[in-house]
Amino acid sequence: MGSFGRHDEIFELTKAGHYPQLVTKLAESFGMMMVKVEAREFHLEQIIEKLKKSQAELSTAREMLDRENRNLKKSLREKFSAGRILGTSRAMQDLVAKIERVADTPVNVLITGETGTGKELVAKSLHYNSGRSGRPFVAINCSAIPEPLFEAELFGIEKGVASGVERRIGRIQQADGGSLFLDEIGDMPLTAQAKVLRVLEDKTIEMVGGRSAKPVDIRIIAATHKDMRREIENGNFREDLFYRLNVVHLHIPPLRERREDVPPLLNAFLEMYTTKLGRPAMRFSDEVIENLRHYPWCGNVRELENEVERAVALAYAEVITMDSLSDEVRNYEMRESGEPEKRKPVSAKEMEKRMIMDTMRETKGNKSEASRRLGISREGLRKKMKRFGLEC
């Protein structure tokens, strides 16, 4: 018998005077119960339909996310492939060949080179062309973090170490399964060096205030512009940690030692910034290219990139002339009369000092903006200004 039949029978029993009062009351109660049960069943059916729809939407979203992740990983591998490191010089070709050989190995790598040579680009190339490319690439600038905060930043901190302190994992744990890039490793505090050595030896990490060690799987890629052997001799860096990091050494020569790499870099940055700034196609005059090839570039590739961005922003015509270059570059090569001036020997430190002074003047003393233009951290700029006697 269908549900309508059952309803009719129960409704019949509720008629007053036809059946005993007890039967009528029971029929009324049972009828109300059936109505509520059927209402709940209908509601459950609606919920089940919504859940099925949500499950289908989640499955579609998961497929889209997986596809986007695969595309992103592919894009990152292409963007940071060793072949994208520009340079026709023998030194850069040798560097690219070595990156390709060691990228997909577990060994730690030490990258050396002056400020602005592209050490982080090499580090990312090593990571994104390795088996760890699907895991995090975590970077930390050892010169930009005050010493009292360094260990907590690197190793993390347990809740309750101090009043109001919440638990926070450090950069090493964030990089678990991937690569940890320690930039400016020569500026790492000595107290932290011993703990980093322990991480490399034991493959475990202990948070600040923690009582137990946790396993970690990381590959360390370190970089510095300093002479690490001199730092070791001066007692600023542990020799045992240096050897742990320097399993493979990659050196990036300064741009002034590979001037043939300037034109391809110029063209790459020109294409990038005309697109970024919405400018039509441009080109450099032969005079500009020649002058830029002979400029010493104490800030290396980063300084060259900044110069191209500036030129694209200021140029009025399709051909970029000397008028669109910075005073520093123009004055280095030309006298006021416009005739070539014999180049005077200037040390890299003096060029760096001049560049910082010019940038601070252009930004009216704004250190945040100056550090952005120079491509260094604000703390790094402060240290350089102090070293050059420019700090107020």
Highest mean pLDDT among 14-18, 61-65, 176-180, 369-373: 176-180
CA distance 51 to 59: 12
What's the confidence (pLDDT) of residue 4? 45
CA distance 275 to 309: 11
What's the confidence (pLDDT) of residue 60? 75
Q: Could you tell me what percent of the chain has a pLDDT over 90?
A: 46
149 neighbors 157 (Cβ within 8 angstroms): no
Q: Confidence band (pLDDT; 50, 70, 90) for 338?
A: very low
Helix (H, G, I), strand (E, B) or coil at 209: coil
Whether the predicted pLDDT of 3 surpasses 60: no
Those residues whose C-beta lies under 8 Å from the C-beta of residue 167, and which sit 6 or more positions away, are: 156, 157, 158, 159
For the chain, give every domain's residue range. Answer: 3-63, 82-253, 259-387
Type of residue at 132: R
- Could you read off the pLDDT of 84-100 as tens digits, one per residue? 788 889 999 999 999 99
- Could you read off the pLDDT of 142-160 as tens digits, one per residue? 988 988 889 999 999 888 7
Q: Could you tell me what percent of the chain has a pLDDT over 70?
A: 84
Whether the predicted pLDDT of 77 surpasses 60: no
User: What is the C-alpha radius of gyration for the chain, rounded to an integer number of angstroms?
Assistant: 33
- For the structural domain made of 259-387, what CATH number should be given? 1.10.8.60
- Identify the residue whose tokens are 């744990």: 173
CA distance 360 to 86: 30
* Backbone torsions φ then ψ of 70, nearest 5 degrees: -65, -40
240 neighbors 195 (Cβ within 8 angstroms): no
Whether the predicted pLDDT of 313 surpasses 80: yes
> Token pair for residue 332?
């280095």
Quick one: fold of 82-253? Rossmann fold (3.40.50)
CA distance 328 to 231: 32
Lowest mean pLDDT among 65-79, 218-232, 358-372: 65-79
Whether the predicted pLDDT of 76 surpasses 60: no
Tell me the residue length of the chain: 392
Whether the predicted pLDDT of 25 surpasses 90: no
In order of 35, 106, 121, 298, 303, the CA distances from 360 in angstroms are: 80, 42, 26, 17, 15
Q: What is the mean pLDDT of the chain?
A: 84
251 neighbors 113 (Cβ within 8 angstroms): yes
Task: Give pTM, 2 decimals.
Answer: 0.69
> Token pair for residue 125?
């190339």
More confident residue, 180 or 115: 180
Q: Confidence band (pLDDT; 50, 70, 90) for 342?
A: very low
Whether the predicted pLDDT of 177 surpasses 60: yes
283 neighbors 320 (Cβ within 8 angstroms): yes
Torsion, CA 373, CA 377, CA 270, CA 76, rounded to 10: -160
What's the confidence (pLDDT) of residue 67? 66
The one-character DSSP state at 256 is: G
What's the confidence (pLDDT) of residue 346? 57
What's the confidence (pLDDT) of residue 302? 92
More confident residue, 289 or 351: 289
